[in-house]
Structure 1
Amino acid sequence: MNIEQRGREPQDHEPGDRVQPGDPTGDFWEQLRRSTQSRIGLGRTGDSLPTNRVLELRSAHAAARDAVHLPLEVDGLAERIEAIGLGHAARVTSRASSRAEYLRRPDLGRLPADLADVPHSGADLGFVLGDGLSPLALSEHGAPLLAALVAELSEHYSIAPPVIATQARVALGDHIAEAMGVQTVIVLIGERPGLSVADSLGIYLTHRPRPGRADADRNCISNIHPPEGLGYTEAARVVAGLVSGARRLGRSGVDLKDTSRSDALTSGGGLTIE
């Protein structure tokens, strides 16, 4: 091997993988990388990661930081969700006065500053759209996910006008739900960004919500960010199953299980689950 050839990489592998032509290890990592967003088979240059892998990591870290600190554009989100047809979107903020305080004081993000703008409806369901730890996720996925949920649930339940919550933690939804007078609250909230995904949205469902409910009283559906993550329609189908189950059981949380997949199988073609 001459000097010019030394260190060259095969064109069908990532630089730094150090894979020789015909080496089955290269195919192994390449196939796995196609099926996951995790950082695997990164290769090496000497004792370190290849430069491009280091730059990818720094870029992902910067994107995650931006997702946390990006302010939610409330007016634009309100227009998009009001177009769904649930009525005027009320606005609530937590007692965290700034993003910096929100990050330092999670307790303040669980308490409302004022609920005067929230109308009492007494509906079956209420939706709260919170910025959480990724306002980017709510901006990207909040409106289309809400549309899918309404399409799945509106034929069976009455739905209150939605509420947009800023500097919000999950438990803020309990206070808002009590003001709305709903039987079940469904909180759509930005999840903590990771180094693979910065715009993932989560759903937290609480039946008979009230201030003081614990995390064990809720059901969570996470990783909603199509096309790589859970899709809107699939998430809405799971929520519909949980709402129905919570109403039968009389509560949500650890005693309530997602049976949507087995229900879909048992209702199709006579197939039963043993």
Structure 2
Amino acid sequence: MFGYLKNYRRAFKAAAADRDRLSRELTCLKAGYAKAIDAGLWPHPNTMLEQQKAIERGIGPVLLATLPKSGSVYVWNALYGTYGMPGGKIAVPHSMMDEIIVEEWLRLFSAGGMIAQHHLPATENNIRLLKKYGPRKIIVQIRDPRQGAVSYWHYIVKLGHADPDIPIEDREKFLWDHYLLPAREWFDGWLAVENTLDLMFSRQEDMAGNEYIHISRIAAFLDMPDKKIRLPAKGDKTHFRSGLKDEWREFFSADFQSRADDLLAPIDERFFGLDDARARV
């Protein structure tokens, strides 16, 4: 459905260090959006019909802003399977933890009756649009970034995008640069706006082993209609691998763990303190 965005994605990658240029590229994206409507690509008429039916059932917009490898696909499938609203898009990717909201898509989505999941950062422009158009409530799906990095590594190895036999120092450098540092920035962004938006920080650690209760809490926060939650099967379709909390202790060197502790200290204090099951001993 979104094949027409390939050229724009290439443009976004080429502009990685230039936020002003990225803003100008949004003009092209808006033109692409209009062309997609004319061609019947997006929004698809069937999607709009299903959205209207979901709105009539009292279902609002469900936005999941998610840290990569935090159980977000499982949450998405649980809510989608329970409430039957169509999936939509509100943003295009610039990098793994940097997606840019497209205003027209957000306006369409915020009418309700639709679910969207993005690794969406709380950038100035994204937050401006969310405050202007909604949705009123947002789920921010999180996980201990150390374990998220482990899960991400296994994921890209499975896809054939990484060599499982590279030296540990090379693996750790890759995950530091491409997961932990962006994750710290991603967390900082959402923490900076938590008092200006109605957010629920949903921890993967709370969900593991208590999926029904946790998804029910998410649904209650979103004011979803009262309905028994249908949990999806765990497996490849939900990107579920193990759900472990402290696999990272055996995966990373002691030096890497120490540096990660320093980097993530404010995140640990806010979300992963000594009361957590993975607390240091």
Same fold (TM over 0.5): no
TM-score (norm 2): 0.32
TM-score where L is the length of structure 1: 0.33
Q: Which has the higher helix share?
A: 2
Larger CA Rg, structure 1 vs 2: 1
